[in-house]
Amino acid sequence: MRQHPKWLEFLREQYPPGTRIRLAQMNDPYSPVPPGTEGTLEYIDDAGQFQINWDNGRTLALIPSEDHFSVIPRPLQTLKLYMPLTVTTYERDEYGDMDNDPVELDSRTVLPYEDHILAAILKERAPEEAERGLMKYYGADDAVNDKVRSYVFTVERVQGQLMGVAECRIKSELTAEELERLKGNISGQASDGFGEGFEQRPIKTPDGEIYVSLWSSEKGWNIMTQDELEQSQQMGGMRLDQQ
């Protein structure tokens, strides 16, 4: 019997093709699939039955209203989102007094400070962020909150330059609209959240103190995926090697 379209829509959103299933009990009196068998959901038919390719070779449908099962969580994937860093220092004049205006350091010049910057970022992380990182403050109850398990800031060498990275742990691929929402949240943390306090704290290096900003008001600042960063480098006549 065909199920109500709204119910089918809900089921198909909750259990997309590829969902891994572990059977607890099947109420089929003739030839049930044994408990504990795992399989992959192919699709949900119009009757609301789960058409599953069981790992033991069986193809018997699972009926959610009658059979008992659990979903096997997918391994988390890593999504890296890159952003330019702004690193500044304050030089001293001939009298040893520190200048009022900061001097921006070249992105290649700061490579030797990578470990110092990373250590400062790690020190800035709060204990309550251990599980979800900065996603703890996301707020909205939407698909992004469901798909993105966590994200934290770090740094990484890219084509001989040091860049800021939002390292995200995701359950499943984001749509283009969801990715933009995530980028917006990360931008907010880089400018007004985590990054606001971080950029005000001096980082000690063998050559003196530096200040690191994850965000910049400059027009060229943006957040890029690996593919977008590659395209940007290629358009500029450079090729980004895979990390």
Residue 22: which CATH number?
2.30.30.30
pTM of the model: 0.73
**Does some domain include residue 118?**
yes
In 10 A of CB 114, how many CB atoms? 13
Under a CB-based contact definition with an 8 Å cutoff, are residues 82 and 229 in contact? yes
Looking at the fold, whether 64 and 81 belong to one and the same domain comes out as no
- End residue of a domain, out of 36, 53, 72: 72
Looking at the fold, whether 140 and 225 belong to one and the same domain comes out as yes
Mean pLDDT of 113-136: 96
> By residue range, what is the domain housing residue 230?
77-235
pLDDT digits (tens, 9 = 90+) for 182-238: 999 999 999 999 999 999 999 999 999 999 999 999 888 999 999 999 887 766 644
Integer CA distances (angstroms), 96 to 91, 166, 210, in order: 9, 38, 17
**Does some domain include residue 241?**
no
